[in-house]
Amino acid sequence: MSSRALEDRAECTQALRALLAKPFVGADEPTYALIRRHERELARTLQSSYGYQLQIGSTAARASGPPTTDGLHRPLRIKPASASGRQKPTDEWPALSDRGCVLVLLTLVALERGGAQTAIADLAYDVELAGVDVEPPVAVNFRQRSDRVAFADGLDLLCSWGVIEHTSGSHESYARPEQGDDEALFTIDRRRLSLLLRDPATALQATTLRALLDESTRHPPTPEGENRARAERLARRLTEDPALMLNELDEQERTYFLGQRARVEEAVATATGYQVERRAEGSALIVEDRSFTDVAFPTNATVKQLALLLCDMLAATGPDSEVSPEALRQRVVELVEEHGCHWGRDAHDAARVAVLAKQATDVLLDCRLAHRRETGALRPSPLAARFRSPTLRTAGGEL
């Protein structure tokens, strides 16, 4: 392969990683020029490997497509305004509430109906009107502080995406019941706004989440079309989820994956430039620079150190057994007794231990290192064994 071809391959890989890593790649970012330069190749790769559509506007580019099952349960994170907050791992940023998500959707409706700029009071009024037009109607009352705060969080999210820009006025006016001289003014990037919906016609017709995510019309109703859809879903899960576990696939997907495993893994590895690690339990994309990582693990944070230490317990239990809530809390107490002086925690503070146990459990669930049963117990995932304490072997035996 020539040096020019190698350079083109490296540029395509860099551009595709950027498209998969965040909602938008802005025109002011160096990667945007690479996306425009390799538009055809990127569009072909995204479509053939993932079933994604490459959308390019004059102000941003975006790869859009159906989410994975895990992706549907990941919260939207709001980029903090402070520099210290932005330095934290993404999963430690504030999560948009359910109410905030509803208000974001209504805000998008209001923005679509509006002009190039809007004052926050006018936008809030338009959001209330958009709620009335929904069937059934969604009551929005900005006289209530909870709705104002949720609305403000949604505006912060849209600002971080570049869909709107805070042009003038104060940030404090976002959640203020009455506006003053410092009322915020927003400029709408209508090109980014138009890129948010991958398929506007389907979105307009959908009345349920199932209908919105329906992919049945994307491929012909033939065995070949069904296999194409399976290959895309598997590639998305391998790329975007912590791992593609065989026991989490339905029978048809598992059969297809085992028969086409090498092809699916090669397609993902070629597209991303990362290695795929294959194990008996499944496959995982190894992203050493964490560019696709929305839950950084492990890190120096106390809760994540605790979750890491709990992996020994999960790995020893095995995927066919369970860890009861009581056993987990007892293990947390033992670990706090051992490491509490470094964490600033007291094992005798039952309330703090309970909070730590819940937070560490949430990390384990988010990283797919365990699954919660209906009883509240945790069923370990084979992934947990990857993070257990190493066993060192010497000439005299194990340490």
pLDDT at site 396: 56
Whether the CB-CB separation of 285 and 80 falls below 8 Å is answered with no
Whether the predicted pLDDT of 321 surpasses 70: yes
Whether the predicted pLDDT of 25 surpasses 90: yes
Task: DSSP for 179-220, please give it.
Answer: --TT--EEEE-HHHHHHS-S-HHHHHH--SHHHHT--TTTS-
Whether the predicted pLDDT of 202 surpasses 80: no
Domain formed by 97-195, architecture: Orthogonal Bundle (1.10)
pLDDT at site 398: 55
Whether the CB-CB separation of 95 and 76 falls below 8 Å is answered with yes
Whether the predicted pLDDT of 116 surpasses 70: yes
pLDDT digits (tens, 9 = 90+) for 341-356: 889 888 889 999 999 9
What is the average pLDDT across 307-311? Answer: 95
Whether the predicted pLDDT of 115 surpasses 80: yes
3-state secondary structure 276-340: EEEECCEEEEECCCCCCCCCCCCCCCHHHHHHHHHHHHHHHHCCCCCECHHHHHHHHHHHHHHHH
pLDDT at site 110: 95
Whether the CB-CB separation of 239 and 20 falls below 8 Å is answered with yes
pLDDT band at 112 (very low <50, low <70, confident <90, very high): very high
What is the average pLDDT across 71-84? Answer: 85
Whether the predicted pLDDT of 308 surpasses 90: yes
- Report how far residue 106's alpha carbon sits from residue 339's, in angstroms, rounded to the nearest whole number: 47
Instruction: Give 69's Cβ-side CA count (13 Å radius).
Output: 10
What is the average pLDDT across 127-131? Answer: 95
Domain boundary assignment for the chain: 3-65, 97-195, 223-286, 302-387
pLDDT at site 51: 93
pLDDT at site 319: 75
Query: Is 97-195's fold the same as 302-387's?
Result: yes
Whether the CB-CB separation of 319 and 248 falls below 8 Å is answered with no
pLDDT digits (tens, 9 = 90+) for 254-294: 999 999 999 999 999 999 999 999 999 999 999 888 788 88
Q: Which residue has the tokens 């019941």?
A: 177
pLDDT band at 9 (very low <50, low <70, confident <90, very high): very high
pLDDT digits (tens, 9 = 90+) for 356-398: 999 999 999 988 899 999 888 999 999 898 888 876 566 655 5
Whether the CB-CB separation of 31 and 14 falls below 8 Å is answered with yes
pLDDT at site 204: 73
Task: DSSP for 39-106, please give it.
Answer: HHHHHHHHHHHH--EEEE-SSEEEEE-PPPHHHHTSPPBPPPSSHHHHTS-GGGSPBPPHHHHHHHHH
pLDDT at site 48: 94
Amino acid, single-letter form, for residue 344: G
- Entry pTM: 0.85
| Tokens read off for 248 | 């989490």
Q: Considering just the CA atoms, what is the radius of gyration of the chain in Å?
A: 24
pLDDT at site 325: 92
pLDDT band at 81 (very low <50, low <70, confident <90, very high): confident
**Which residues, including other chains, have CB under 8 Å from residue 210's CB and lie 6 or more apart?**
none
pLDDT band at 300 (very low <50, low <70, confident <90, very high): confident
Cα-Cα end-to-end distance for the chain = 48
CATH topology of domain 302-387: Arc Repressor Mutant, subunit A (1.10.10)
Q: Which residue has the tokens 């593609």?
A: 244
Give the mean pLDDT of the chain.
90
What is the average pLDDT across 74-102? Answer: 87
